[in-house]
Amino acid sequence: DGGRTIYYDKDPDRLDDFDADGGTASELETELQAANDAEAEELIAYARGLDVDDLDGDLDVTEARDWIFGDALHSRPLPINYGTTGGFSDPGNPAIYLAVATNDGLLRMIRNTTTGGADTGEEVWAFIPRAGMAAQKILRANTPSVKHPYTVDGAPVAFIQDVNQDGSIVESDGDLVYLYVGMRRGGKNYYAFDVTDPESPELMWTIDKSGDFAELGYTFSNPRVGLVQTPSGPVAAVMFAGGYDTNKDTRGVEGTDDTEGNAMYVVNAETGDLIWKARGGSTSSGNVFEHPDLVDSIPSTLSVADTDGDGITDRMVVGDTGGNIWRADIQGSDVANWKLTLLASVGRHSAGASGIATDRRFFHRPDLVPSKDGNGLFDAVVVGSGNRADPLDKGGVTENFTYMIKDRHTAAGSGVDTGLDHADFGDVTSNCLQTGGPCSVDLDDGWRLQLEEPGEKVLATPLTLTGKIFFTSYLPQSGVGATACAPGEGAGRLYAVSLQDAKSVINYDSSDDDPNNPDEPNSKSDRHAELRSMGITAEVVSVPPNKILRPDLQIDNVDATKRWRT
């Protein structure tokens, strides 16, 4: 069968009923959009990787197709290290498995090596959710005029509990590995798996757009995992935002209020039961908090934090597609006291906003950075605006910014609606604080840095290391530097600026160096470097202790203090 075992939604043995020996597939005909049992069985065989249409012309329809791996468009592969599980040796040859979702409708688990240390890359199992089964007929037909479907396009995340911290996952020790994934534009579902045994998965629960989760949009928001406090003690939880409303796909006009996705959820990691949620509205009750200004969908992954160092998650921060930045305080065991507050409004709801130019949207997780200045402590929220659903600005060009917002209410549970908007953040675009000259910039509430190239936008999460912010931007109309002679995929930039005032912190432009200090950044152009890769840019990755990996796979040294676990 192409070396593949596929587990259908509820019952891992279900496929045994639909083999080539005359079984019936009537229960799945609707999901597969098959005309009859025979077509349903062929579509199941196609999903399993069989060459049911004899594409190679050898008259054998029981062999595997030449290529049976779909596109992992937005799904970042997740490696999980199981240590000495299953006869593997550690550290010489640990049991490493990779989970990845692909747009042929499968969540896959891939083994890295054999127990003997040889490379294998074998797919040990795959899962097809019912919500994505209809895509199999489209994929099999492969009609040129039909768009390639999205199916399971979310990035998987894991909750790992290694009780004795020996680096190996052993079920008898009480160790656990749970895997979570959403469908992104492929659907409005989340799935949870027990993969403590990486080669024998169990589906734990499914969340869809119903009941406690009626506000769900398309599940763009990658889950975050952690512990939250409850009356019965700390509980493992999964946290995610409401997702994306395709209402925001409309181009050529300023965005409008959404009917789904304007929510945030905290659920039990083992059962999928709702612990708490926030949504739009004006009447809060029990474990449901309502805020009247929550009217825009939230496709972004949440930034979650334990701000008081007790090992329990107590805060979530996120931006929405209306340009708002939200803070959720989930501190204490009484969920009735958990709350959502509006930290800032810098998009279409901001004072003076008008039209597409100010319709700023957030699609990616902000960075939350504890810091301080002359006025005291603050938690910096660093986030960049950019419409991921319209990267080429087919609906009009928006003036996008990167923001550093100072949240002065640093204590757990102390969030308030601040009333801050776009104009409250000091404009540091000119970099006059570094270059000198006439300059008056109020940084009490934070700063804003405009992305000045035509259509320039932030489409990735920023990274902050020892007071230095690294973020990338996408330039859809650019053809400069290494990309000048390339196809029109757009270019990217890497920015490196100071957390406190957005000054240049790396000398990226050596053409204007001061002869007396040739290695010191001294100008606005020192803030950024052109990336060598084309297309939409990914985020910067930290490589401890003092390096970063850029999206173009170049490695930069960073003047950073070494960090030690304490």
Residue 28 has pLDDT above 90, yes or no: no
- Higher confidence at residue 99 or residue 562? 99
Residues 244-291 pLDDT 10s: 999 999 999 999 999 999 999 999 999 999 999 999 999 999 999 999
Predicted local distance difference test score (pLDDT) of residue 437: 76
- Structure confidence at residue 489 (pLDDT): 87
Distance separating alpha carbons of residues 447 and 442, to the nearest angstrom: 8
Residue type, 429: T
* Better-scored residue on pLDDT, 157 or 67: 157
pLDDT of residue 4: 54
More confident: 15 or 420 = 420
C-alpha torsion 394→398→404→410, nearest 10 = -80
Among 218-227, 402-411, 440-449, 513-522, the minimum mean pLDDT is found in: 513-522
Question: Per-residue DSSP letters for 86-144?
Answer: GG-BTTTB--EEEEEEETTTEEEEEEEE-TTS-EEEEEEEEEE-GGGTTHHHHHHH--T
pLDDT of residue 37: 86
Give the pair of three-digit tokens for residue 251: 């181009």
> pLDDT tens digits, residue range 34-52?
998 889 999 999 999 999 9
Q: Nearest CA to 206 among 114, 289, 307, 132?
A: 132
The pLDDT value recorded for residue 15 is: 41
Q: Is the dihedral of CA 34, 40, 42, 43 positive or negative?
A: positive
Quick check: 475 pLDDT over 90? yes
Instruction: With a cut of 50, say whether residue 468 has pLDDT above it.
Output: yes
pLDDT at residue 518 is higher than 70? yes
List of residues 6+ apart from 273 with CB closer than 8 A:
212, 267
CA distance 527 to 471: 11
Query: What tokens were used for 559?
Result: 């003047």
What is the sign of the dihedral through the CA atoms of 17, 22, 28 and 32? positive
Residue 319 is encoded by which pair of tokens?
Answer: 């931006």
| pLDDT of amino acid 488 | 73
Is the pLDDT score of 10 beyond 90? no
Which residue from 74, 237, 274, 266 is spatially nearest to 159, judged by alpha carbons? 237
Looking at per-residue pLDDT, the higher value among 479 and 282 belongs to 282
Mean pLDDT of the chain: 92
SS3 516: coil
SS3 sequence, 277-298?
EEEECCCCECCEEEECCCCCCE
Query: Average pLDDT in the 443-468 region?
Result: 97
Using CA atoms, how far apart are residues 284 and 434, in angstroms rounded to an integer? 47
Looking at residue 59, the DSSP 8-state letter turns out to be S
Q: Which of 238-242, 305-309, 477-481 has the lowest mean pLDDT?
A: 477-481
Model confidence at 13, in pLDDT bands (50, 70, 90)? very low
What percentage of the chain carries pLDDT values higher than 90?
A: 85
Question: What are the distances in angstroms from CA 31 to CA 39, 132, 133, 239, 525?
Answer: 12, 8, 6, 29, 55
pLDDT tens per residue, range 130-186: 999 999 999 999 999 999 999 999 999 999 999 999 999 999 999 999 999 999 999
What are the pLDDT digits (tens) for 387-415? 999 999 999 999 999 999 999 999 999 99
> Of 14-28, 178-192, 360-374, 427-441, which gets the smallest average pLDDT?
14-28
